[in-house]
Amino acid sequence: MTQWLRVAWSRLRAVASRRRLDREFDAELVTHLELLTEELRRRGLSTADARREALRKLGQPAALRDVHRDERGLPLADALGRDLRHAVRNARRSPVFTAVVSLSLAVGIGATTALFSLVDSLMLRSLPVAGADRLFQIQVVPVVAGAPRKARIAFDPQAFEAVRTRREVFSGVVGFTRLERPLVEVAGRSDPSREVEQVSVNYFRELGVTPVAGRMPDDADADIAVISARLWRTRFDGRQQAIGQMLLVDSRPYAIVGVAPPRFHGFTLDSSADIWISSRSGSPDLMMVARLTSGTSVVRARHAVESLLRDQFLERFRSFPPDQAVDTELLPAGRGLSRLRGQYGSALAALMALVTIVLLATCSNVGNLLVLRSAARGRELTVRAALGASRSRLVFQYVVESLFIAAIGCAAGVALAAWGVVAVLGLLPIAAVPDSLAFRADPRMLGFAVGISVLAAALFGLAPAWRATEVDLTGPLRSSQGTTSPRRIRRLGRGLVACQVGLSVVLLVGAGLFVQTLRNLARVDVGFPVSGLVQVQIDTRFAGSSQSPASQGASQAGGAGPVAGVFRLLRERLATLPGVTAVTGVRNPLMQRSWAVMSVSLPGLERQPDVTWDTAQVGPDFFETMGIPAIHGRVFAASDFEHTGERFVVNETFARSFYPGDDILRRAPSIVGIVRDTRLFDVRSEVRPVMYQMLAREPDRISSLQVRVDGDAAAALPAIRKAVVDVNPRLLVGIRTMQDELDRDISRERMVASTSVLFGALGLVLASIGIFGVASFAVADRTKELAIRRALGAGRWPVVRASLGETMVVFGVGLAGGALAATAVVRVAAVTISDLVFGLTATDTGYVAAALVVLVTVAAAACVVPAMRAASIDPLHGIRDG
Amino acid sequence: MPERLDILQGTLDLMVLRTLAALGSLHGYGIARRIEQVSDNRILLNQGTIYVSLVRLDARGWIRSKWGVSENNRRARFYTITRAGEKQLAAETENWERLGEVMSRLQTGGECGR
């Protein structure tokens, strides 16, 4: 073994100093020759004969040098070095070709890597915690029949403690909760937009996350904080002194005891936590993650806590109808928890499929270009083969050249990927790019990029390398032009271009599918005039004081003081702004996919488990502000809000579903009117039955105000923002035009559409390059023949037709194949990613036709230059060059 | 084919080692000449292959080389055997002797029947 190492080392060293060793060996040989010659002369040979005999006895110096080199160095590495230099020379000789090839590869590799990075961090990668695969989130899910979405219920400390006692199934349980918009002060400076998580004190120890500085929190700790490596770096310059310092969260001091590892961002992937705090008083709404003891199944663990959690839940929410089920779920938490995963999982999978097609198209494009160039280099190949280069050497040379091009593409691709991840995340409705989803140039990602680059090189390098094995030793040498190519390459190139055309048809149809979906969504009639409407989201916890949440600072707020009045105060202030025509408020902000499902007993509509409807709790002037007219009866009047009696307004669907063919106002006197159907909570869902209730009480949590303005809603934003902030800066959660809210609601579809359009455009560019290449090649290849035809009296047009006929056939084949593939793809997509398409019917083939039209146009454009070249062929050309 | 080449290579290596062990420091030409002399010119050597053998021995650490001046005032590389080389030579020699014994027994043949 050591012997082997020693030889390998010596060979490596020899490669490094090969020039010196060559020189030394030459010197040795010269000495040897002279000594030998002298000796032979002493034996009586003439000087000339002695020289000749000496050379014969020693062997050919050049051959000896080669053997010597092979013996002392690494022969394969030498060949590799030579071929690499050759590849670099080739690249330098044709910079445009190299740029086109490596740029298109970089785009393909970069886009694939970027998407893989997103898929990986969102869906595949385990959190950097110990034993991630045994971590499960425990959830209690009240099942409300007919509700389109499950409610997520947090736990109180009692439930947490109860679950902790089930040691036979859970070896450990951690609790955590993200604070809503906390006030953070780090190192004496207020630090807005830091994400703070309140965690149980065993959090880090249980997860096996060891601080990189400071110490692990232990059970005796109270009011302590662990900060993220990023916060440590940016605010403390990574100094040890950070440990022991105080930071303030909502005016309460916490001592920093440790710094989390750089890769650890907490369980929530969608936004990365920067501060984890622990205090004796637990949070009233915790999320729970438990570690199963080894050998415990998920089912058994669920059974162990099911009844316990159900009792806890029913005790906490006494108003919950006891006849409805309360389920317990254990969800894998080892890969982190993410809302985006559920929303974007299928979207990313679909885009991953599209980007794979882009990469394939890129490979066939590069392969085609290399084949065309190898045709132009036929003479070089032949010469090399004639000089004795073996076929394997020629193939090896092509492999090295392909890998060289792939390496450039890979390096540029990784840079592009980092940018691409940021660009895609920028299209999502999240505040900032979370660290947990950002592109990381770690071994895993680089390995992926290198892997697909090698794969790509194998794909596109195959054709030209194959071609190298079929060198005809005499053909190109004899030919005067040197460009006449065997039929085989042309067939190969044509096949590749047909593939490209087919793949880009699929890409374009995919893009068409998603663009049509987006257009359908954008055209959805939400049932009320959107323009001129502004939504302000507010957090009334902060109504009383500018420092701490009202709920925590009860003494400052004084119960019903400013908190109770803030909603009215805001409404009054906003109503006086110039241009504002109406103001109202809603308990759950609109277009946030959050709504309440409640049941009320109505005459003729006894409570049944499967009869539910959505509830909107609205303030005065709601229907006037929103512009939702009553169809029957009336909407709420200002006087309704001053009485305590129950009054409801319902939508058409409600009336149609529950009181078909009946006069609902007479049957249920508490219903005062029926209004038009609207989509209030999201754009996509089917319209469900809605009951409007009056917002009698002050909303206690995040709520919203709707403001109707005259003219441009966006222009009114600054004035409205100022009015809210003047009351209390922390009151304001967000302010957007209603159009913005609608756009955000369909941001996933927009992300998918714009990304797939980009991919479609890439496919188009690649296809047009391919068609251009094939058409130009066909014209160049047949110049002589066409010139002779012209000389013999053929018109311009037949010549053009003759030269491009072949390209047209190639294009047609690709088009037909692509259309077939696309039809299949659409079929599959309709089943697998049905949540990504909207409003498309099976017979809706407009986008397929559009894709084909676009492709035909681009192909025609790509043929213009070659066609002009064919048309302008000089009839004399054939004779002169003959 | 490769087997024969290997044995030949190994044999040449052994000859070079033995030559160096006997004569101390020598340059390539000196080694080649010595081998030819000892064998009474029965070995027809392509002298250049000596250098391939020298590279191999050097890589394994069995010989060492130093630049010096030859008898005709030329720059030449002088090779000497190392401690490890001597050990290797001893082992190889034993091998050869055992092999030679077996070969001669096989050739005389009579003892096989016993």
Token representation of residue A767: 């296809």
A29 touches B at CB < 8 Å:
yes
Tell me the pLDDT tens digit for each residue of A244-269.
999 999 889 999 999 999 989 999 99
* pLDDT average, residue stretch B100-108: 82
Which residues on B lie below 8 Å from A31 (Cβ)? 27, 29, 70, 74-76
Q: Give the β-pairing of A732-737 and B26-27.
A: unpaired
Residue A44, CA atoms < 13 Å, CB-side half-sphere: 0
Residues of chain B whose C-beta is under 8 A from some C-beta in A?
27-29, 32-33, 45-49, 51-52, 55-56, 58-61, 70-72, 74-77
Residues 51-70, chain A, touching B (beta carbon < 8 A): 57-59, 61, 64, 67-68
Please name the residues in contact with A685: beta carbons below 8 A apart, sequence gap of 6 or more. A148, A679
A36, A67, A72 ranked by CB distance to B59: nearest = A72
Q: How far is B102 from chain A (nearest CA, A)?
A: 29
Contact call for B61 and A6, based on CB within 8 A: yes
Element at A691 (helix H, strand E): strand A690-694
Contact B76 A28 (CB under 8 A): yes
Residues of B within 8 A of A39 (CB-CB) are 33
Instruction: Look at residues A397, A366, A367 and name the one whose alpha carbon lies nearest to residue A381.
Output: A397
Q: A72: which chain B residues are within 8 Å (Cβ-Cβ)?
A: 55, 59
For residues A836 and A833, what is the distance between their CA atoms, to the nearest angstrom? 5
Cβ within 8 Å, pair B52-A71: yes
Phi then psi dihedrals of residue A703, to 5 deg:
-145, -170
Q: Are A277 and A198 in contact (CB under 8 A)?
A: yes
Q: Is A34 on the interface with B (CB under 8 A)?
A: yes
Token digits of residue B113: 């029947």
Q: Which residues pair with A286 in a beta bridge?
A: A155
DSSP summary character for residue A733: E
Q: Is A76 on the interface with B (CB under 8 A)?
A: no
Residue A26, C-beta contacts closer than 8 angstroms, at least 6 positions apart: A61, A65
pLDDT for residue A773? 81
**Predicted pLDDT at A558:** 36
Chain center to CA of A592: 22
Residues A580-620: pLDDT tens digits?
A: 999 998 888 898 877 776 666 777 666 565 667 888 888 88
- Cα A231 to Cα A202, A228, A448: the distances in Å are 22, 5, 30
Alpha-carbon gap, residue B64 to B85, rounded angstroms = 9
Q: Please name the residue of chain A whose CA is at the shortest distance from the CA of residue B72.
A: A35
d(CA A141, CA A303): 15
| Mean pLDDT, residues A631-655 taken together | 86
Taking alpha carbons only, the member of A371, A540, A536 closest to residue A466 is: A371
Across A614-623, A763-772, A839-848, least confident range: A839-848
Nearest to B29 among A27, A31, A71 (CB): A31
Q: Which of A6, A31, A39 sits opposite B75 (nearest CB)?
A: A31
Give dist(CA A654, CA A556) in Å, integer. 44
CB pairs under 8 A between A and B: 67
Please provide the size of chain A in residues.
882
Beta strand A533-539 pairing with A732-737: antiparallel
pLDDT tens string A787-818: 888 888 888 888 888 888 888 888 899 999 98
pLDDT at residue A710, as a whole number: 92
Lowest mean pLDDT among A119-128, A221-230, A368-377, A472-481: A472-481
**How far off is chain A from B100, nearest CA to CA, in Å?**
27
Most confident of A2-16, A684-698, A701-715: A701-715
B29 to A68: CB separation less than 8 angstroms, yes or no: no
pLDDT the model gives residue A335: 92
Asked if the Cβ–Cβ distance from A35 to B75 is below 8 Å, we say no
Average pLDDT over residues A863-881: 77
Where does residue B61 rank: exposed (0-12), middle (13-18), buried (19+ CB within 10 A)? middle
Per-residue pLDDT tens for B14-54?
A: 888 989 998 889 998 899 888 888 877 766 667 888 888 88
* pLDDT value, residue A239: 92
Contacts of A28 in chain B (CB under 8 A): 27-28, 51, 76-77
Predicted ipTM of the assembly: 0.84
A12: closest CA of chain B, how far (Å): 11
d(CA A233, CA A90): 46
Pairing of strands A648-651, A287-292: unpaired
Cβ–Cβ contact A49 with B under 8 A: no
Q: Does A116 have pLDDT greater than 70?
A: yes
A35 CB within 8 Å of a chain B CB? yes
Query: Inter-chain contact B46–A58, Cβ cutoff 8 Å?
Result: yes
CB contact under 8 A, A11 and B59: yes
Q: How far apart are CA B49 and CA B28, in angstroms?
A: 10
How much of chain A exceeds pLDDT 90, in percent? 28
Q: Which residue of B has its CA nearest to A2?
A: B60
| Residues in B touching A32 (Cβ below 8 Å) | 27-29, 32, 47
Cβ-Cβ contacts under 8 Å, B77 against chain A: 24, 27-28
CA angle B68, B73, B76 (to 5 degrees): 35
How far apart are the CA of A67 and the nearest CA of chain B, in angstroms? 7
Contact call for B55 and A28, based on CB within 8 A = no
Spatial CA neighbour of A87 closest among A359, A396, A435, A498: A396
Q: Which residues contact A874 (CB under 8 A, 6 or more apart)?
A: A787, A790
Contact criterion met (CB < 8 Å) for A34 and B74: yes
> Is A10 close to B74, i.e. CB distance below 8 A?
no
Q: How far apart are CA A274 and CA A230, in angstroms?
A: 7
pTM of the predicted structure, to 2 decimals: 0.74
